Structures are given as structure tokens and as C-alpha cells.
Chains A and B, each alone.
Chain A
Amino acid sequence: MKKILLVDDEPNIVMSLEYTFKKKGFEVYIARDGSEALEILENNIPDIILLDVMMPKVDGYQTIKLIKENEKLKHIKIVFLSAKSKSSDIEKGLSLGADKYLLKPFSVKKLVSEVNELLD
């Protein structure tokens, strides 16, 4: 069973994603910001992380840096989900090691297919 970690501070977005991926047979973990995500990652190693950028406390950029610095975690696929749509934002996200950068609002179907593609 594939594991997915959803990191976003918008509960309604998280809820939609949780519903979708549970239905697709994923084991779903939820964090409301970077620090919660890192807490979860201490005990669980998901296959993929969907990461928001603008979050309180520890934001998406800091989170991905910490993950990529960690030997045990750096192999995890990471997809940024962000409303920040400037090309500089996208470049920054990818340069930090993300596998995909998807813009909000996104299509759920497309997201699922991207996730599946990355995990195959």
C-alpha cells in the first residue's frame, strides 16, 4: 500500500485530497505545516509528499530543504502544490529538489495521474 503525506494549512483542500487518495488506496498522513510534517516523518516514511509552500511556522521551502538533507528521507518524491505561479517561484521549488510543481487550483485527476506516474 502506497503512503502519501499531505502538507497544507487549508483544511478544506486537505480534506479533498485525503478523500481522493484514500479512495485510490493510499495510506494518507496529514500535516498542517512543515513542523508537523517533519514530526510525522520521524516515524513514517511515505512514498510521496504533497507540499504547500505558504504555510505558517515552517514553510514549504524550508520543509523540502530539511527533507533533502536527511539521508533517510531524501529519496521521497515530492510534489509542490502552490498558488505561487511566478516562474521564479516554480524554478525555486524545482531547484530545491521537488519532482513536480503543480499550480493551485489544480485538477484532481491530473494530480492523481502525476502522482501515479512518479510512483511507477
Chain B
Amino acid sequence: MNSLVLFIAIILYLAVLFLIAFFAEKKSKSKWVNNPYVYSLSLAVYCTAWTYYGSIGVAAETGVSFLAIYLGPVIAAPLWILILKKIIRISKQHKISSIADFISLRYGNNRFLGALITVICVLGIVPYISLQLKAVSESFEIMTHGEVIENQAVLSDYTIYIAVLIAVFATFFGTQKTDASEKHKGIVASVAFESIIKLVFFLGVGIYVTFYLFNGTEDVYNQISSHENFKSLTTLDNVESGFNWFFMILLSFFAIFLLPRQFQVSVVENDREKHLKKAIWLFPLYLLLFNIFVIFIAWAGIVKFGSTSNSSYYALLLPLKEGNVFMALLVFIGGFSAVISMVVVSTLALSTMVSNNLIIPYGFLSKFIKGEQGKNTSYIKRIRRISIFLIIIAAYYFYYYFSVPLSLYSIGLVSFVIISQLAPSFFMGLFWNRGSSRGAIVGLIIGFCVTLYTLVLPMSIEAFTGSRDFIENGLFGVENLKPFALFGIDFLSPHAHAVFWSLLLNLLAFAVVSLSFKGNYRERNYAEMFIDPRNYSTLGDNALVWKGEAYVADIKNVLVKFLGVSRTERALSLFFRKYNLPPDTQMADARLISFSEKLLTGSIGGASSKILIANVVKEQEISLVEVLEILNESKEALANNKALKEKSDELSKLTAELKNSNNELLFQYKQKDEFLDTVAHELKTPLTTIKASTEILKDDIEEMEPEMQKTFLGNIEKEVDRLARLVNHILDIEKLENNRQKLNLTQSNIDNTISNVVNNLSHLAKEKNIEIRFETKNSATLFYDEDRIIQVLTNLLSNAIKFNEKKNGEIIISYTTNESWLEVAFEDDSKGIDEIDKNHIFDKFYQSENQNTLKPKGSGLGLAISKQIIQKHGGDIWLKQSDKNGSIFVFKLPFQ
């Protein structure tokens, strides 16, 4: 394939990635950018060119051992997610932007520790990046020349241009914001896209090789089984290789946490904790899919080419050999994707570490203190950009001058071993509160040195001098100092051996130093926060113990230098509001110190922000005991607050309930009072007539005309009746309202009942010349208390008679039935009832104010009693306007 065409294809592909990143950055709130799938796919930045090409090489040369690197994350996925949750929580709380920041914060924002970790990461990762560049260069050569050509001039090597393009990409999308703890949505989206591309194309070539070049997996297996080395390629032959497996799996488990690029995508770029729930199965699934065809491509390569030279590039060579350039191009793009995503995320992560944990805290703090915000932020960005370019250029030179003699796989593993040195301080720091910064530093240095001695040094000496003397005889010829077999441990592979010794000594040093020397109070403070983040996240800024003297104005001055005036003002006013402090607070407390440090951490790293803030405050030493006491107090205070709040909530709920029932009682009391008042009034009114009439009769009986006497006596009689009726009604309604009236339900015929009532009242109607019309129909029988219903009917009918003022009035009684209801209606043709009255006519003692007639003698309780009776039967009663202007009283009773 023409190299220019291939280069153009690369440029086009980069342009696509640029567009994806650009739009993701632009629509950073969109669902397409923020979802668990993008998150899970971005984690697959773990699969680099080493996976894409290297695994096949390893599989061809040594068999299934390549799997260990992928089994670690798969086996440990549940545990990984569990720990990751904790790490994410802590990191968000403290605006952590890299693993160096994370570990150094755990050990009290220790500047040296942060810098040390940064150096170790750079030393570990730069060769790894160079490995990726090497893969690009080699795959490029295979695509264009069909084989790997060694040592070209720098400028004629396309790889340098590709490296520069990747650096531009990383710079453009990685340094838009000063705060490195902010999300880089563009980069994450492009990484997710690349993860799809590399998986799909790799599976594609796997299917192509297995099913087109061969007749399926069985065919590949049959053909390879006749191969001479077959047995060693497929089995774990002894206990030693079991150990090797164990250490490789351990290594990959550490790598998934500790690789700066993994920390970047899984922690810093994590948007929501719940995305982990998808990642817990998606990411292992991704790794498994990726590894399905590795072994078949490797076997196919061995079968087709006979030799294992260039076995790493079987995926490219196999389609090329068959003349399928297009397939090869897809494979190349897939591998290129693996490279770009790894290089971009790694350089981004490293540049953040280099700037925030190395360059700024050691070189730029005094400059920043003098500078102003605009200048400072552009300095910070410039430092990061230069770091990105420096890292990529360093990687290129490493590739150019050193990597040639070393295989992809071995460089990758060395890189893993170096990074795994962070494991003791990282994991122990999460679970052991005694771990101290001094222990972490000593452990790291020892572990790193052991790695150099047992792995880097012997491999380099062998690669560059060709001499195995050092390896075979040890340092100064001492048997116990043989780099691959320290103190007689000679049964492990060099890498597993290095992992064993370096981590063992690292861990021991960490533990011994931590136990022997007390850490300072600040690291203990952070230790407590890291170990129990759930608890301390509720404490918020209270979790930092700090004593001393500080002025808000001084701290504000520092903040302004990085955030600018308006952002500082906004942040502080939010802070004051959060803790209910007056906005003109003069003296700063521990909370403000903690808050301000966090504000700066994203921009300049934890160590620097601690130093800058410490510059403007007078801090008092606190003893470790005091720190723990204060922390416990805050925890207790928080728990107490919570309990108090619960109690007070409960109390206010109770108060509200009491208030309600009190209101209800008051209302009932008032109603009772009004009722009694009305009853008294209603009783006194007939009594007044009776008393007055009897008094008159007693005094005047001799001279009074008999006719007059009769009238007075008649009045007395009527009023006595009225009294008796009133008393009965009061007793009735009292019983009904208090549920003391039991209904005596019997099966009765409504026609009979109505006819009865009509007969009883016919004389009253005749007196007023009113015609009552009731036509019996298909007689309906149902269950009701006949006496009570008679009471209702009587009341309604007598009302209709009483209030009818027409000379020849008419009252029509009718009823209808349906499946569930009987509806009885009383229609009259009198003047009807006013709107206002309609709403109250069923109230007790309600008497219309619009009666023109002399007040008819009612108790004022008739309709109220009727309503109660009907409702007791499960029915309802209401009033409506008739067509003839009169009114219709309707009640309905249920059949059931």
C-alpha cells in the first residue's frame, strides 16, 4: 500500500475523532455523551496496541499466558467496582485530578510524595507510550512494505508526524480548562468511539482469519495440533507457571487502578457513580470479547507463516498475505485507535501530574503569588501543554533510540511492574489509617529500585550489550544477587520475580516505617477521611481539622490569583451561605481553609494549594490525639444533629397533629355551642307564647270573650305541640348524628309506604286545596327502615304542603328505579327555593330568610333529620329546580 495513501487515511481518521471530540465537548450535557456505555467503553482504554498486536505475539510464542493480563480485571471486576466507588467519592469531594494527587492527599498533601509518584509514573509510562508509537511505526511499515524496516531517519519516519498530531489533539481537548479535575467530555467520547472501532475491527479480522482463511475454530485447532511446540502453547505445565500466572493476574489487577490513564477515565472522568453498575459487567465482557480470537489468529499465523518472527503483526500480515488490503487497512485503523486513545489519555493524565505535582509545587508557586489571575491560568495551561508535548517527544525518542531491541510485550510488562509500586501506598492508604507519608515514600523508592535491579537493568544490559553475564552471575558475581533469581528464588519468570520482590519489599518498608514513625496530624486527618469517606462526606468541610489564625481577606487574595475576582466572590458567598456565616466574616476557620484548598486543588494540585494557603495563614501545630478527638467530636455532633433533627421533625409533626385535632375539637365545640343556643332559642319561643297566653287568661278570664279565650287556648295547644315535636326532633337528630340510631331494615314496598304517608297527610292538603298526585307503578320492594322512611316522606310532603302558596297547588310524587337505585321525587309548583337557600336547606335550624309568609311552624330540623336518615341508608338527598319553577326534592336509596 502506498505510504502517502495510508498517511491520508490516518489524517482522515484523526479528523473524524476530532469532530467527535469537538461535538461531545460542545454538547457536553447531552445524553449521548453522559451515559454508562460511554463510561464503560472509555475504560477500555486499557486495551492498547499491546493488546491489539502484542497479545497475538505472546500467544504465538508462549501460549495462553497473554490471558493473565486480561483475566485480572475480569476476575476482580466486582471488587474493583467496590473499591472504585470509594475512590470516586473521595476524589470528587477533594477535586482530585490524578493518581499522584490522590495518593499525596491521602498522606496529608505531601508535596514530595506527589512529585515522587509523578516521576515514577513518567518513568513507567513514557516507555509504554513509546511502545505505542513503535506499534504505529511498525504497523505502518508492514502496511506499506510488508515487513518491519529498522532505523529510519527521524524526519522520514511518519511516526514523528503522527506523534505530533496526537499531541495536538491531546493539547486541544485536554487543556481547555485550568481546573484539571473538570471533565474532558471530548476526549472521553473519542476514546469510547475508538474502543468500539478497535473491538469491531479486531473481531472482524478474527472472524476473517478463522472462518475465511480456515474452516472455523476446529480447523485452526486441527492444523496447529500437528505443530511441534503445540503442547507448550496450550497448557500450564507446572507449579512455577501457576505462580507466574498468579503474579500476572495480580499485576493486571493493580494496573486497572493505578495506571494513570485508567485513573483518569475511571475516576476523574466519572460523571455519575451509578455508571459503575453497567461497567461492572460491560468492561469485563469487552475484555473477554477482545480475547476470543487472539489464540486463533496466533495459531493461524504459525500455520501460515511457519515462523514466529513478526508474530505480533499476524493480524495485519494474514490479510495482506491473502491480498486483502482493505481488511488489513481496517485492522491498521483499529490498532491505530488503540494507540491514539492510550497515548491521548496517558499524556493527559501524565501532564496533569507533571504540572500539578511536580512543576507547579516546586517551581512556580512564588511566581503565582506575585502574578495575577489571567497570567496565572495561562501559565498553568501552558505548563500542561508543554508537558504533553515533552512527554510525547520523550516517548518518541525512547522509541527511536531504545525500544528497537525490546519486544512490545516486555516493555509493557515492565511498565506495569513499575506502576504497581504504587499499590501498597494506594491500597493500604484506603484501608489502614496508620499508613504514613514517610512509609509511602520509603516503600515507593525501595520498590522502584528493586524493579530497576531485577528487571530494567538486566534487560537493558542484555538488550544493548548482548551480555548475559549480569543475569547469570549476579552483581559482583554474588549468587544471591542474581537479578532474575534474588536469594535463590529462581523458579519465577523475570517479571513475576520482579513483582514478587519489589512489592514485598515495598510493602514491608511501608508497613515498618509507618509503624515506627508517627505521621503528622494532617496526614492522619486525611487518612480518616479516606478510610471512611461515606462518613466524612457528610461532615463536608468540617472534616478538616485546623487550628490557627487566618483572615478571609488573605485567603481571598490567593483565590483571586487563580479564579479571578468574580468566581472567587461567588465561591465565597456560596460558602458563607452554606455555613450560615455573615458575608463580612473576618476570621477564617478550618472549613474555609478546607474549602479554599479544594477550590485550588483542581488547578494547581493538592500540595501546591496547601502550600499557598499555608503561606497566608498562621497555623498552630495540633497533636495527633487532638485531631482524632476533634474528628470524633464532629462525627458525634453530626450524629447528634441528625438525631435531634429527627426528634424535632417528629415533634413538629406531633404538634401539627395536635393542632389539627384541637381545631377539630374547637370546631365541634363551637358547633355544639351554637346548636345548644339555637335549641334554647327554639324552645323559649313557644314557651313565651304559652307563658304570655296563660298569664293573660288567668288575669282576664272573667271579662274575656269566649271566642278570644278559645283562640288563646288554641295557641297554647299549638305551641305545646310544637315544643313536643321540637323535643322529639332534637332527640332524633342527636341519635342519628351520634350513630345511636340503629336502622330496622325490613323488606318493604315503596308504593305502600308512600301511599300511607299520602293518606295521613291528605286532610292537610285538602285544607289548603292542594292536590297530591301519586301513581303507583311497578311496585318496587327493597330493604329499608319503614318508620324512618315514613318520617322522611312525611317531612318532605308536609313541607311541600306548608310552603305551597297557590290556591290550587299540585304536588306530584313519583319514583324511578334502575339496577342499583330507587329514586323518589317530590315536585311542587310553588315559588321554588332561592339559590342561597339551596346550599343550606339541609342544615340544622336553617330557615329561609326569604319567607314572605308568616313563619310556618317547623322545628328547623326536619330536612336535617331526613338527610341523616337517607344517608344512613347509603342513599342521598338533594334539591333541584323543577320546570314549572317549583322545586323538586329527590332522594335515592340503594337496592343493596
Quote the shortest CB–CB distance from A6 to chain B (angstroms): 12
Tell me if B849 counts as interface (CB < 8 A to partner A). yes
Would A10 and B685 be within 8 Å (CB), given that A16-B692, A32-B854, A105-B692 are in contact?
Answer: yes
The answer to whether A85 has its CB under 8 Å from any CB of chain B is yes
Residues of B within 8 A of A11 (CB): 854-855
Convert A61-105 into 0s and 1s, putting 1 for each residue whose CB lies closer than 8 angstroms to a CB of B. Answer: 000000000000000000000011110000000000000000011
Instruction: Specify which of B691, B692, B700, B850 is in contact with A56 (CB 8 Å cutoff).
Output: B850
- B693 CB within 8 Å of chain A: yes
The residue on B at minimum CB distance from A19 is: B696
Closest A-chain residue to B851, C-beta based? Answer: A56
Which residues of A, 9-31, contact B by the 8 Å Cβ criterion? 9-13, 15-17, 19-20, 23
Which residues, 152 to 197 on B, are CB-close (under 8 Å) to A?
Answer: none
Instruction: Give the CA-CA distance A35 to B491 in the complex, in Å.
Output: 121
DSSP class of B's interface residues: helix, strand, loop or mixed?
helix
A56 to B856, CA, bound (A): 12
| Interface: A54 (CB within 8 A) | yes
Report if A12-B695 is in contact (Cβ < 8 Å); known contacts: A56-B847, A56-B851, A104-B687: no
**B 683-708 contacts with A by CB, 8 A:** 684-685, 687-693, 695-696, 699-700, 708
A interface residues, how many (CB within 8 angstroms):
25
Nearest-neighbor residue (CB-CB) of B700 within chain A: A23
Asked if residues A104 and B688 are in contact (CB atoms below 8 Å), the reply is yes
Distance from B243 Cβ to chain A, minimum over Cβ atoms (Å) = 101
Would you call A108 an interface residue if the criterion is a C-beta within 8 Å of the partner chain's C-beta atoms? Answer: yes
Cβ A9 vs Cβ B855 within 8 A: yes
Question: Judging by beta carbons under 8 Å apart, are A13 and B680 in contact?
Answer: no
* Chain B, interface residues (CB within 8 Å), range: 20 to 34
A contact face: mostly helix, strand, loop, or mixed: loop
When the two chains form their complex, are residues A105 and B687 in contact, meaning their CB atoms are under 8 A apart?
A: yes
Q: Tell me if A16 and B684 are in contact (CB < 8 A).
A: no
Residue of A nearest to B698 (CB): A108
Say if the beta carbon of A57 comes within 8 Å of chain B. yes
Q: Do A104 and B684 have beta carbons less than 8 Å apart?
A: yes
B822 to chain A minimum Cβ distance, whole angstroms, is 36
Partner of A12, one of B693, B847, B849, B850: B693
Contact of B691 among A32, A54, A86, A107 (CB under 8 A): A107
A10 and B681 contacting across the interface, CB-CB below 8 Å: no
Query: From B680, which residue of chain A is reached at the shortest CB distance?
Result: A83
The complex places the Cα of A78 from the Cα of B685 at a distance, in Å, of 20
Which residues of chain B are within 8 angstroms of A54 by Cβ–Cβ distance? Answer: 681
Q: Is the CB of A56 within 8 A of B695?
A: no
Q: How far is the CB of A99 from chain B (nearest CB, A)?
A: 20
Give Cα distance in the complex from A86 to B691, angstroms.
21
In the complex, chain B residues whose CB is within 8 Å of the CB of A56: 847-851, 855
Whether the pair B715, A105 counts as a contact (CB closer than 8 A) is no
B691 pairs with A106, CB closer than 8 A: yes
Q: Given known contacts A12-B715, A12-B718, is B848 in contact with A83 (CB within 8 Å)?
A: no
Alpha-carbon distance A78/B173, docked complex (angstroms): 97
| Contact, CB under 8 Å: A12 / B719 | yes
Residues of B within 8 A of A15 (CB): 711, 715
CA distance A32 to B856 in the complex (A): 13
Residues of B within 8 A of A107 (CB): 691, 695
In the complex, the answer to whether A104 meets B854 with C-beta atoms within 8 Å is no
* Bound: A15/B67 CA distance, A: 117
Best-buried of B685, B711, B849, B855 by chain A (most CB within 10 Å): B685
Could you mark each residue 661-695 of chain B with 1 if its beta carbon is under 8 Å from any beta carbon of chain A, else 0?
00000000000000001001100110111111101
Complex interface: chain A residues within 8 A of B718 (CB)? 12
Minimum CB distance partner of B712 in chain A: A16
Q: Is the CB of A85 within 8 A of B680?
A: yes
Determine which residue in A23, A56, A105, A107 has the highest number of CB atoms from chain B within 10 A of its CB, and name it.
Answer: A105
Tell me the residues in window 837-881 of chain B with beta carbons closer than 8 Å to chain A beta carbons: 847-851, 854-855
Q: Which residues of B contact A104 (CB under 8 A)?
A: 684-685, 687-688
A106–B681 CB distance below 8 A: no
| Docked-complex contact A83 and B695, CB < 8 angstroms | no
Please measure, in the bound complex, the distance between the C-alpha atom of A88 and the C-alpha atom of B681, giving whole angstroms: 15
Q: How far is the CA of A17 from the CA of B849 in the complex (A)?
A: 24
- B718 smallest CB distance to A (angstroms): 7
Q: Could you say which residues of chain A place their CB within 8 Å of the CB of B690?
A: 105
Contact B681 A12 (CB under 8 A): no
Whether B849 lies near A16 (C-beta < 8 A) is no
By the criterion CB–CB under 8 Å, are A16 and B693 in contact?
Answer: yes
**C-alpha spacing A77/B345, complex, angstroms:** 104
What's the least CB distance linking A100 to chain B, in Å?
16
- Nearest residue (CB) in A for B693 is A16
The reply to whether A106 and B685 contact each other, CB–CB distance below 8 Å, is no
Q: Would you list 12 pairs from A and B whose C-beta atoms are within 8 A, ordered by A residue? A: A9-B854, A12-B689, A13-B685, A16-B689, A16-B693, A16-B712, A56-B847, A86-B677, A105-B691, A107-B691, A108-B695, A109-B695
**Which 7 pairs, one residue from A and one from B, show the smallest C-beta to C-beta distance?**
A83-B684, A16-B692, A12-B689, A105-B691, A105-B688, A104-B688, A83-B681
What 12 new A-B contacts, CB under 8 Å, besides A12-B718, A54-B681, A108-B696? A9-B854, A9-B855, A11-B855, A16-B712, A16-B715, A19-B708, A57-B849, A57-B850, A83-B680, A83-B684, A85-B684, A108-B692
